Structure 1
Amino acid sequence: MNARTNPAAARFVTGSTMRHVIVMAGTGAIGLMAVFAVDLANLFYVSMLGDTSVAAAVGFAGTVNFFHVAISIGMTIGVSATVARLLGAGERAKARQVATASLAFIVLVTVVLTAITLLLLEHILDALGATGETRELTRLFLTITAPTLPLLAIGMCTAALMRSIGDARRAMTVTLSAAIVTAILDPILIFGFHLGLTGAAISNVIARIVLTLVGLYGVSRVNHLIARFQPQRTWDDVKPVLKIALPAVLTNLATPVAAAYVTHAMARFGPAAIAGQATIDRITPVAFALIYALTGAVGPIVAQNLGAGRADRIRETIRNSLGFVLATVALAWIVLALSQHGLIRAFSARGVTAEIISVFCSWLVASYAFVGCLFVANATFNNLDRPLLSTLFNWGRTTLGTVPFVAVGIKHGPIGVLIGQAAGSAIFGLMAMVVAWIVVKRLPMGDCARLAARHAEEPAAISVSVPGAAAGNTVAPEVQ
């Protein structure tokens, strides 16, 4: 953020920081909830089939897709940051060229990754622990949906490009369109045409096609961010994008790695345990959309006050963000605890699946207070020129905060696995917040000016956290 920013444009350097946090998180949560609702609707209708193997297959497929989404999100961070900087500098023609080249590059990367995934699918399913009927169903679901992963990446990138130009409303319609299509087609294909899991997969494919078409229309026809593709200039155009995207991808991959390890651990207890994990993985993003949107809310506020040399308002923003996290988690905890029996009935959960949902809604949901701390800390690190700390805490939680805790918990069954994961997340979330507060506490006005000057030279990857498996997180482009 440039220290010379027009005060009229830098609206976060005045007024209540708590109000800024609430408004930014609230508007960001709407778009995120639309994304999460697609997965939730899919699992809801699939669960109505009454077969835990089918729900477990959706859970395994989600873990595989998570790696692709993490990589795609990392790429979109680089694209949106680079394009936004060029637009801010008045270089619209260059911004259009970079946007076009980046879209082409993302398609190339995701097509290659999808081909590798399909070629190695049997080995991947072995590593995750999928067996028997669940394995066959997972293979079926991924065989149908995986070829459209490049379309998902295009949709995500176009939404990020529209945010970079300030068209947040139209960016939101990209994800909303996919959610609406899924909500309409799922019951028709799954039950009306009696296609079961195949119907859910076909619904996913159609939703991704719509996502891509709406996104491309928005960036090309409405915002005119697509230029004539020039293959010979592609590498030169994407190099500045990769400077931001590659570190973001590295950070993002931490969460799917942890998710895969937890899924492998849960697989020891059968399809019912995987179905339970898949259910809470899809309930919590909707319940905690405000928490996941928080990094996108905190980032711009910290960045603008950094540019204005207002270290006091940066500290105030962090304090208010923590209060917001605690209040949001407390409210969600009450709602989930009171509605757990209704959720169990809605998802046709029985036995171990029902027990996992009940324990999570009653107690483990509290761990999201610490997940929220990690999100706030990551936003602070990214915008105060300490992105390495964000990467270290993400990978630290993935390794030291997951493997030993889950290894101990697995001795006590699937509930023990989730308790172990929650305990590791709590420890690293608290550690990250303590370190972030120390960084902010030691931030004098002179430091603000120095960092602001550096941010003027090179854009930071401002990000918003989105969920992974059971209290996991990754990073998505800023919701503006």
Structure 2
Amino acid sequence: MIAERVPAKKVFGLAIPALGVLCAEPLYVLVDTAVVGHLGALPLAGLALGGVVLSQISTQLTFLSYGTTSRTARLHGAGRRAEAVSEGVQATWLAIVVGLVLVLAGQLLAIPLAQALSGSDEIAAAAVSWLRIALCGAPLILVTMAGNGWMRGVQEAVRPLRYVLLGNGISAVLCPVLVYAAGWGLEGSAVANVVAQVISASLFLRALVAERVPLRPQPSVMRAQLSLGRDLVLRSLAFQACFVSAAAVAARTSTAAVGAHQIVLQLWTFLSLVLDSVAIAAQSLVGAALGGGAQRQAHGVATQITRYGLLLGCVLCAVFAAVSGVLPHAFTADPGVLGEIPHAWWFFVALQPIAGVVFALDGVLLGAGDAAFLRTATLASAAIGFLPLIWVSLALGWGLSGIWTGLSLFMLLRLAAVLVRWRSGRWAVVGAVR
């Protein structure tokens, strides 16, 4: 079979705006953290704790964006735009229903959750005051995720970027006004957070209405979306189990080790966003090709995206190898932490080309609707590789080297799984709906 490529301009025309959307929220969190940080240690601790709880919503419910992109892209590729947008309507209904449940549950469980995570009544109280306000934006966060999903599926990459930047930009300006000038303190940060979600979600809702498609709920479509969502949620839980375990082991190693792990892990997370932008382009293009019956083009895009991922990973590897003696000093001056960083740094650097290929093929398989395979591969890689090695490293005192060896094995197992799946071609099932 002769594979068909698509113009590189088309790939990066989807990837670059997607990167902007992915980076918008972390950048806003940095602004929010800087504003609240000047209030003192206690409000900052409350924000950190509440932010962890709120971030789990977007982390665990990614199917509202990634799953919706897959289903929408197939219908778009088949020339059925109205039905493609209708997938967005149903994902939005799901977002509203699930979001309202989360608001109610969050209000009831905010205190016990904060107390369980903090171990301090003062920090728990600060977290609860922020969380109860910020949770009111949960349905809106999910509506924005659904909006990103269907727009990526119909290959509209710029509008979601504008919507998200507008919401977060206004909120970033509003945050210091509410926190300092209005005197609302930590609660002002939470209100600004909700304002960002109101603006972005309203723009996505307006875009749906402008499409002039039926807006009534369709339970059968929502059930199909939830079926796909189940696999993506289980996959996400595997990631969470791995990284929570890694943090726990680092914390039991030494204070310097946990600080070093945090720095390198945040860099890993940021570069994951860069690599994931290429994967998002793959989702849209592969889904559209398969939906339109263009199997050769789907194979061509898969090969093309994989090469881009590998190239980008190699570039990142070279860049971060070159700045190894300089960049860590931008994060800390503590000699103990700086001494621990190399035990994780060179694993982090060497993994970039592997991550580039893995994330690219994740995007290909998600675009093909092959979420069940990705779920199984991720769970197996975590159970066989990462988790056992993490806890063995604690028992044997391997420290950060053991933790990052576990992450390396996890990535290598995932690499083997997605490469075998890609080469098999079994993922390339044509048709508007899988």
- TM-score bucket (shorter structure): 0.7 to 0.9
Deviation, structure 1 residue 240: 3.2
Q: 2:379 aligns with which of 380, 395, 407?
A: 395
Q: Are 2:415 and 1:433 equivalent residues in the alignment? A: yes
Question: Does the CA-based 8 Å contact 2:242-2:382 persist in structure 1?
Answer: yes
Q: Are 2:292 and 1:338 equivalent residues in the alignment? A: no
The one-letter code matched in structure 1 to 2:418 is A
1:219 aligned partner:
208
The one-letter code matched in structure 2 to 1:290 is V
Q: Which moved more, 1:390-399 or 1:160-169?
A: 390-399
Q: Which moved more, 1:134-143 or 1:362-371?
A: 362-371
The one-letter code matched in structure 2 to 1:424 is G
Cα distance, 1:276–1:297 mapped onto 2, change above 3 Å: same
Write the distance in 1 (CA, Å) between the matches of 2:271 and 2:31.
Answer: 14
Q: Are 2:23 and 1:33 equivalent residues in the alignment? A: yes
> 1:87-122 CA deviation, whole Å, 9 max, x = no partner?
444555545555334322321112113322332334
Write the distance in 2 (CA, Å) between the matches of 1:313 and 1:351.
Answer: 47
* Two-structure CA RMSD over aligned residues (Å): 4.2
Q: 1:235 aligns with which of 203, 212, 219?
A: 219
Deviation, structure 1 residue 401: 4.3
Write the distance in 2 (CA, Å) between the matches of 1:187 and 1:412.
Answer: 47
Question: Does the CA-based 8 Å contact 1:33-1:285 persist in structure 2?
Answer: no
Cα distance, 1:182–1:342 mapped onto 2, change above 3 Å: farther
Q: Which moved more, 1:317-326 or 1:93-102?
A: 93-102
Q: Are 2:63 and 1:63 equivalent residues in the alignment? A: no
Q: 2:194 aligns with which of 190, 205, 214?
A: 205
Deviation, structure 1 residue 69: 1.0
Deviation, structure 1 residue 66: 3.3
1:475 aligned partner:
none
Paired residues, number: 429
Deviation, structure 1 residue 388: 3.6
Structure 1 portions without partners, runs of 5+: 460-480
Write the distance in 1 (CA, Å) between the matches of 2:339 and 2:171.
Answer: 26
Q: 1:289 aligns with which of 248, 273, 292?
A: 273
2:229 aligned partner:
245
Q: 2:358 aligns with which of 351, 374, 377?
A: 374
Structure 2 portions without partners, runs of 5+: none
Question: Does the CA-based 8 Å contact 1:254-1:394 persist in structure 2?
Answer: yes
Deviation, structure 1 residue 425: 1.9
Deviation, structure 1 residue 74: 1.0
1:468 aligned partner:
none
1:275-424 matched pairs, under 5 angstroms: 285-299=269-283, 304=289, 307-308=295-296, 314-315=302-303, 317-332=305-320, 334=322, 338-344=326-332, 363=346, 365-366=348-349, 369=352, 370-382=354-366, 387-408=371-392, 416=399, 419-424=401-406
> 1:121-153 CA deviation, whole Å, 9 max, x = no partner?
344345545434333332222122112111111
Highest RCO, 1 vs 2 (Cα 8 Å, sep ≥ 6): 1
Question: Does the CA-based 8 Å contact 2:249-2:394 persist in structure 1?
Answer: yes
2:238 aligned partner:
254
Deviation, structure 1 residue 238: 1.9
Write the distance in 1 (CA, Å) between the matches of 2:363 and 2:382.
Answer: 18
